[in-house]
Every structure is written in structure tokens, then in C-alpha cells.
Amino acid sequence: MKALILVGGFGTRLRPLTLSFPKPLVDFANKPMILHQIEALKEVGVTEVVLAINYRPEVMLNFLKDFEDKLGITITCSQETEPLGTAGPLALARDKLVDGSGEPFFVLNSDVISEYPFAELIKFHKNHGGEATIMVTKVDEPSKYGVVVMEEATGMVEKFVEKPKIFVGNKINAGIYLLNPSVLDRIKLKPTSIEKEVFPRIAADAKLYAMVLPGFWMDVGQPRDYITGLRLYLDSLRKRSADRLANGAHIVGNVLVHESAKIGEGCLIGPDVAIGPGCVVEDGVRLSRCTVMRGVRIKKHACISNSIIGWHSTVGQWARIENMTILGEDVHVGDEVYTNGGVVLPHKEIKSSILKPEIVM
Amino acid sequence: MAGSEQRVVAVIMVGGPTKGTRFRPLSLNVPKPLFPLAGQPMVHHPISACRRIPNLAQIYLVGFYEEREFALYVSSISNELRVPVRYLREDKPHGSAGGLYSFRDYIMEDSPSHIVLLNCDVCSSFPLPDMLEAHKKYGGMGTLLVNKVSAESANQFGELVADPETNELLHYTEKPETFVSDLINCGVYIFTPNIFNAIEDVLKQKKDRANLRRVSSFEALHSATKALPADYVRLDQDILSPLAGKKELYTYQTLDFWEQIKTPGMSLRCSGLYLSQFRHTSPHLLASGDGKMSATIIGDVYIHPSAKVHPTAKIGPNVSISANARIGAGARLIHCIILDDVEIMENAVVIHSIVGWKSTVGKWSRVQGAGDHNAKLGITILGEAVDVEDEVVVVNSIVLPNKTLNVSVQEEIIL
């Protein structure tokens, strides 16, 4: 089987992290985001992944080369020279996706984190005999999204309602699809929206089905959702493979610590923390609801909550970092400095406190 | 032995509970003159400066606080300095000259040759012995300590003009609307006993004027007495202004530090000034440590002997820690006053703040001010018995006594 991952552009919503790496390579729970998806695809027998990308494909391919061998999966890029929307890239990659086997192929939105229940998706798809399956997820405020109206028993999609003012349902498109090759015949090589143009037409032919995504779902395309997404991911990890989470007297709730990271005495870590490879967390440090990326050093008595600490940054002694502070790559926060919602671009030194949320260029 | 003509009596005006409202919420718990700066009550600093005057016979504290508020302090400081210190309570405010005059019998008991008069809410190195020598040389009735300040800030004080040659006070005006001079009155004076004659003259004039008014109009008298009682004599307007340029008053300029302590923000700054003065005058009061056996100490820090500070804590510069305070492992204190019985828990951070009596600051909490001593919320103040729970951040805020903070606050006054 094959899969197409819609990577898209600059990932501006996840800046300043995406100033250093393309969004799919930004770490999430100690692993580049896209690897979560590629590994799950590999598990259900996908042999080739096509990345639809329009920005710096060479960085991606260089990075992913190692994983091709490690996972035994082929990874290629399909580069748009002009924006093609969410469906156009499928037409562009048509030759790579169609191999004559007639097997359906996956299409994934790269921002989405979930348990990726691809095996169930394949089963569901084969059972209904339609042309395409989309996964849907339940949301609290459907009026913010495009709602998928479906037949409860069969999952057959009746229609899509964009940002409904009156309640028509609470399931929205989760950005995970399994499509028969015939769907490609419905897409032309021009800017097209798969959600707004292609799917409604398949639904009109009664050949589009929706499967409710079990487990959690989060679009982690922006910092706040990234932090929430980590909580949901770690909750799910607790249920699936609790042995991968840290334990001990200094751990509260779900915490992921890379085996190469070092943690000092008298720390209190958690809940919902990921500490990446090579990190050093010195004595008396408090971490909660945060991501500490590869190579970071957190010095003694620092306290970090609800924040993301970018690669190879350092946080000084008695520093306090909170409230959606995002430190880009190689940022250095001085001793005793307080940052409340500071968004700091890469390679900066922060010597005085940031009392109100602001962007440090 | 020095003759009686050499004796000096010092009078320190301490004010009363209706004064110093700008010092809230700290003055809700303790009379402002007893609020600790550099670990010692505010009034202790002028008292120990007075102690350095040769032939000091007596120190009087004059104010309208209840006697009992000063009883304990006055008895212990008398013992400590081996000089009699006595609190004299005014029945009502008389103005600083009026207050002095109303206790003239006490003050003259020791037949002093000179009277030192100063205000308690002044922070200075109080160069009193040198000032006394200068005063004797000038030969006038009084000498004022003066200080040069920026032209923009001068109008908050008494502005004055002095003869650059003789140092005679030529002109004096209190808090003028327009700029007069960048030399200001520091609120520290040395007088000969003739000052009482000068005050008596003013009182006589006032009485005469009041009598005149009584004849002319009952109404006028009523409003005049309401504004200022007949026995109320201000030192600045009633004595200094009229006597300027009459070869009675002289000035002595301090080149050392001088500040007025009207607000908690200024008290934090002044605590630091007194701590740095300790470096020269009382180095034994300053803490030291390198983090091995005792906490790491940076700059000037006072720690009361009964306070417990964990060796992994890092303290300073400009920190004073009062009695029975407990500073936990890995705590960090910078530019702050920690009052009695406070507990700072593990890994907490306190910067540019005053932490009130019996308060607690939880683990990994942060109490911080911007450090602007003149701004209303330039430092953070926790009143008595305020609990900051674990990991809470309090920035640029004032918290009144007996509050618990379980969420972070910024730029707030919490009633």
C-alpha cells in the first residue's frame, strides 16, 4: 500500500520552531511529527510514502533517508511548484500512487496527531465497498469547523456543512483518508480543495463513508494545540504502553524522558512533559506541561510550565518560563529571568524578564 | 571630662499612625519607624548615627504613637547603645518645631549646648559629628543638612539657597511650584537652645494674630484655628523661611547618600543603602558564605542570627532577612526584605520584593517586582500572613494581609 502525506508550506503557525526545521521534522513527544505517521503506516504494510511538499524538500529527504533504511520504507517527495490546495497534490503524485494493484491508498494531513487506527480504517473501507473513507472526530464546538453529516448506522456521508450556525452534528473531518485509485480520476491538476470540492461530489454519488476515529485527535499546527496534543498523546500512551513513560518519586502524571537525558536531584517533573535526547535537567528543577527538545540544558531551580523549549536552548538558574513561552532553537535564557508568554526567535539571548506575552525578534 | 556646655541632646521626630499612609500595607502591622531596613528598625539608623556624636547625653523620640508601641524598642536600644533613649508622646501633632517646643523642659534637663533634630523617615549616613563641628564654626543658631538633587525632583522638598562662601542660608521655600534651587533640606538639623526662643516668638506672633482676628471677626478665628492650631509650629515655613538671610542659619552639604522613605518601594532602596553603609561601619553585621557550609552570599546581605537559610540557597545582593525566617533549599533571594517568621520554600525566587511577617512563598513560586522604587507597583509587597502557593507567580503587585494566592497575578492590588 501507499500513502500521501500533505506537508504543505512554511508552517508559519508553528514559528519560531519552523524557522529551524520544516514542520514535519519538528519534534513531538521526542520524535519528528512525521515519523509518528510513517511508523504507523509501516505497521499496516505501507511500503511507499509520498510527501506532498512545496518548501525545502531536500531538508526533508536528507533527514528521512536514515529512516528509509531503518524502517524499510520508501520515502519520496512530490514538489508543487505552485500551490495546488489539498487535492491538487494528489493529481500531481498520481503516477507514484497508482501501481495497477487497485489497492486503496492513504492520504494524511501532516499536522494531525492521533492513535492512527489504520488497520480498523482498512477494514471499514473494505466492508462498505465505497470509493473513499474519511475519518471523522467528535468536537465540542462544531460551529468552528466543517461538519460531516452522516448516516449513523452505515457511516455513509450525506453532506458537509461549513461552520454550521444551527446544530447538524458534531463530527468533523479528521484529515485522515483512505481512497480508491478511482478517486484520482475525479481530481484535475489544478488548485482544488479535497474537502470542499472532491468529497462532496463523492458523497453525492453515495460512495463516501466516514469512520469515527477512536481515541484522541489533535491538530498540532500551533503552539497551544501542540501542548494540548502532547497531553492527549501521553494519556493515550499510558493506556497503550505505559512502560515507555517515566516513573519515580520525582515524576507526576505522564512524562516521557529520552533514555539519554539526565535528570538531577530534587526535581519534580510532570504532568505532560516530554524531555528529548541529550537533555540535561539539573537539580531542583520543576517541569510541567512542556516539551524540552533535543540537547537542551535546564539549569538548577528553574521552573517551566506550559511552554516549548527549542533544540539546544539553555534555561538559566532560577529562571521561570511559562504561559505559552516558545523558545526557538539555540535560545539562552539568563539566570533568574522570567518569561511569561515570550515567543523567542532562534539564536537569541534573553537577559531581562518578559512580563507580558510578546515576540522577541 | 567635657563640660556641660559640650553636651548634646538628640530629638528624632517619628510621626504617628495617621501619618505614613503611603507606607501601607506595611504600616498596618508596625509603626513605620520600627519597620526594619537592613535588618534594623528604621529609627535605629539615625539613633546609631546620633550615638557617634561626642558627649551625647540623651536621645528623645517624639511622636504621637501610643507609648506601648515603642516601649520595648526604647528599652532594648538604651541597653544596647548605653545611652538613655526615651519616647515622648505628643497629645496631638504640633508640627516639628511645635513638638520640639512642647518637650523643651525634658530636652533642657541636661542643659545641652546643642540639640540635634532629625526626621525618622530620612535615609542618610547622617554625618552628625562633622556637621556639629561645622555648626560651631558658623556660630549661628542652627545648621541644616542639605543635599543637591536633580532640578526636576527638587520641588518635592524644601528648596534653599546658600551663600557659597559662608554657607549661610539665604533663602528657604517649602515645595515651591517653580524652580528655586537644586539644594534641598534633608530634615536633619543642629540647633543651639536659642531655637526655643525663636519658636516662642513665632507662638507669640500667632497668638497675637489670633487675638486680632477674634476682635475683627468670629468667623475668621474659626477658620484659622481649624486650619492650624495656635500651638502648631512648622519648622520649615515658620522658622527656616523667616530666619533665612539673618545670619542665624547655615547649611552643611552631604555628599553621601540621602533619600526620603515615604513608600515601601523607597524602603527597599534605603535598606540597600544602609546595607552598603554596613560594609564600612559594621561589616560584622553582613553575612558571607560560598555555598559549602552556608548559603552562597552575593553583595551586601543581612541575616538575623535566628533565621535559618539552607546552604543551597543563593542570597543577595541587597537582601535582609529578619528573625526566625526560614529559607529553603535552592531558594533565590535578590533585592528583598524578608520579615519575621517568613518561610520561603524550596526553589522559590523572590526579586525586588518585601515579604511580610509570617508569610509563606511556596515551592517554585516567584515573587517579583520590576525594581522601580518610585512607581506605585514597582516592587511587589506581600502583607502579613500572605500565602503564595506552590508554583504561583506574583509580579508587580501589592497583597494586603491574610490572603492566599493560588493563581498567578500581575500588576494588581489585592484587597
pLDDT over 60 at B321, yes or no: yes
pLDDT over 60 at B223, yes or no: no
Residue in A284, A320, A322 closest to B346 by CB: A284
| Average pLDDT in chain B | 90
Same domain, residue pair B51 and B96: yes
pLDDT over 60 at B353, yes or no: yes
Rounded to the nearest 10°, the torsion over CA B208, B210, B212, B213 is: 170
Q: In a 10 Å sphere around its CB, with 0-12 CB exposed, 13-18 middle and 19+ buried, how is residue A165 labelled?
A: exposed
CA A284 to chain B, closest CA, distance in angstroms equals 6
CA A354 to chain B, closest CA, distance in angstroms equals 11
Is B334's CB within 8 Å of A336's CB?
yes
Going by CATH, does the domain composed of A2-219 fall within 3.90.550.10? yes
Q: Whole-angstrom Cα distance, residue A36 to residue A27?
A: 10
pLDDT interval class at A52 (50, 70, 90):
confident
The cell for B112 is: 545641652
Render pLDDT for A16-28 as a digit per residue (tens, 0 to 9): 998 888 888 899 9
Task: Indicate whether B295 belongs to any domain.
Answer: yes
- The string of DSSP codes covering B313-344 is -EE-SSEEE-TT-EE-TT-EEEEEEE-TT-EE
Residue B50, pLDDT score:
95
Same domain, residue pair B149 and B227: yes
CA A328 to chain B, closest CA, distance in angstroms equals 24
CA B364 to chain A, closest CA, distance in angstroms equals 6
Residue pair A137/A216 in contact (Cβ under 8 Å)? The answer is no
Residue in A286, A355, A356 closest to B364 by CB: A286
Render pLDDT for A164-189 as a digit per residue (tens, 0 to 9): 888 888 899 898 999 999 988 888 88
Q: Which of A242-246, B86-90, B241-245 has the lowest mean pLDDT?
A: B241-245
Range of the domain at B180: 4-260
Render pLDDT for B102-140 as a digit per residue (tens, 0 to 9): 999 999 998 999 999 999 989 999 999 999 999 999 999
The cell for B200 is: 516662642
Residue in A286, A288, A356 closest to B347 by CB: A286
Alpha-carbon torsion (B109, B113, B118, B120), positive or negative: negative
Number of neighbouring beta carbons within 10 Å of residue B22: 14
pLDDT over 70 at A104, yes or no: yes
Average pLDDT, integer, range B18-37: 83
Tell me the one-letter amino acid at A312.
Answer: H
Nearest by Cα to A36 from A304, A286, A274: A274
Q: Where in chain A is the domain with CATH 3.90.550.10?
A: 2-219
Q: Which helix (H) or strand (E) holds B199?
A: helix B195-216
Residue in B332, B391, B393 closest to A301 by CB: B332
Contacts of B331 in chain A (CB under 8 A): 301
Render pLDDT for B120-129 as a digit per residue (tens, 0 to 9): 989 999 999 9
Percent share of chain B, pLDDT over 70: 94
C-alpha gyration radius of chain B: 23
Is A336's CB within 8 Å of B346's CB?
no
Same domain, residue pair B299 and B245: no
Q: Whole-angstrom Cα distance, residue A57 to residue A51?
A: 9
Distances, alpha carbon B322 to alpha carbons A357, B356, B383, in Å: 35, 10, 15
Q: Whole-angstrom Cα distance, residue B28 to residue B30?
A: 6
- Residue B261: DSSP 8-state: -
Q: Which of A120-129, A282-291, B198-207 has the lowest mean pLDDT?
A: B198-207
pLDDT over 50 at B2, yes or no: no
- Half-sphere exposure at residue A35, Cβ-oriented, CA atoms within 13 angstroms: 18
Q: Whole-angstrom Cα distance, residue A117 to residue A40?
A: 8
Residue B4, pLDDT score:
47
Q: Where in chain A is the domain with CATH 2.160.10.10?
A: 233-360
Q: In a 10 Å sphere around its CB, with 0-12 CB exposed, 13-18 middle and 19+ buried, how is residue A129 labelled?
A: exposed
Number of neighbouring beta carbons within 10 Å of residue A182: 14
Contacts of A355 in chain B (CB under 8 A): 370, 395-396, 410
C-alpha gyration radius of chain A: 21
Q: Whole-angstrom Cα distance, residue B142 to residue B251?
A: 8
Residue A40, pLDDT score:
93
Residue B236, pLDDT score:
86
Residue in A320, A322, A356 closest to B349 by CB: A320
Q: Which residue has the cell 522559590?
A: B348
pLDDT over 70 at B408, yes or no: yes
Is B363's CB within 8 Å of A266's CB?
no
Chain A residues at the B interface, defined by Cβ less than 8 Å, are 266, 268, 283-286, 288, 300-301, 303, 305, 317-318, 320, 322, 336, 338, 340, 353, 355-356
Q: Whole-angstrom Cα distance, residue B271 to residue B259?
A: 11
Percent share of chain B, pLDDT over 90: 67
pLDDT interval class at B166 (50, 70, 90):
very high
pLDDT interval class at A75 (50, 70, 90):
confident
Residue B213, pLDDT score:
61
Q: Whole-angstrom Cα distance, residue B160 to residue B166?
A: 14
CA B339 to chain A, closest CA, distance in angstroms equals 22
B245, B260, B275: which is the final residue of a domain? Answer: B260
Q: Which helix (H) or strand (E) holds A61?
A: helix A57-71
Nearest CA in chain A to B329: A284
Q: Whole-angstrom Cα distance, residue B115 to residue B100?
A: 10
Same domain, residue pair B213 and B346: no
Number of neighbouring beta carbons within 10 Å of residue B3: 8
- Residue B100: DSSP 8-state: H
Task: Indicate whether B214 belongs to any domain.
Answer: yes
Q: Whole-angstrom Cα distance, residue B379 to residue B371?
A: 5
Residue A135, pLDDT score:
94
Residue B216, pLDDT score:
52
pLDDT over 90 at A161, yes or no: no
Task: Indicate whether B270 belongs to any domain.
Answer: no
Is B396's CB within 8 Å of A355's CB?
yes
CA A316 to chain B, closest CA, distance in angstroms equals 12
Nearest by Cα to B197 from B131, B104, B107, B111: B104
Residue A307, pLDDT score:
96
Same domain, residue pair B240 and B317: no
The CATH number of residue B56's host domain is 3.90.550.10
Q: Which helix (H) or strand (E) holds B89?
A: strand B85-89
Q: Is residue B151 helix, strand or coil?
A: coil
Hey, what CATH class is A233-360 in?
Answer: mainly beta
Nearest CA in chain B to A305: B391
Range A149-154 contact pairs with CB under 8 angstroms and sequence separation of 24 or more: A150/A209, A150/A210, A154/A128, A154/A209
Average pLDDT, integer, range B47-76: 93
Same domain, residue pair B186 and B315: no
The CATH number of residue B378's host domain is 2.160.10.10
Interface-testing mutation among A318, A321, A333, A354, with chain B (most B C-beta atoms within 10 A): A318
Nearest by Cα to B193 from B85, B92, B110: B110
Same domain, residue pair B44 and B153: yes
Q: Residue B109 forms beta bridges with which residues?
A: none
Nearest by Cα to B349 from B306, B401, B394, B288: B394
Average pLDDT, integer, range A249-259: 95
- Rounded to the nearest angstrom, the gap between the alpha carbon of residue A271 and the centroid of all alpha carbons in its chain is 20
Tell me the one-letter amino acid at A294.
Answer: R
Number of neighbouring beta carbons within 10 Å of residue B372: 13
Residue pair A230/A154 in contact (Cβ under 8 Å)? The answer is no
pLDDT over 70 at B155, yes or no: yes
pLDDT interval class at A15 (50, 70, 90):
confident
Same domain, residue pair B255 and B110: yes
Contacts of A284 in chain B (CB under 8 A): 312, 329-330, 346-347
Provide, for chain A, the percentages of residues in helix, strand and coil under a 3-state DSSP scheme, each rounded to the nearest 5.
Answer: 25, 35, 40
Cis peptide before B401 (omega within 30 of 0): no
Which residues, in sequence order, are CB contacts of B165 under 8 Å at separation 6+?
none
CA A221 to chain B, closest CA, distance in angstroms equals 28
- Rounded to the nearest angstrom, the gap between the alpha carbon of residue B86 and the centroid of all alpha carbons in its chain is 18
The cell for A206 is: 453515495
Residue pair A315/A325 in contact (Cβ under 8 Å)? The answer is no
Q: Which residue has the cell 458534531?
A: A170
Q: Which residue has the cell 537525558?
A: A261
Residue A9, pLDDT score:
67
The tally of domains found in chain B comes to 2
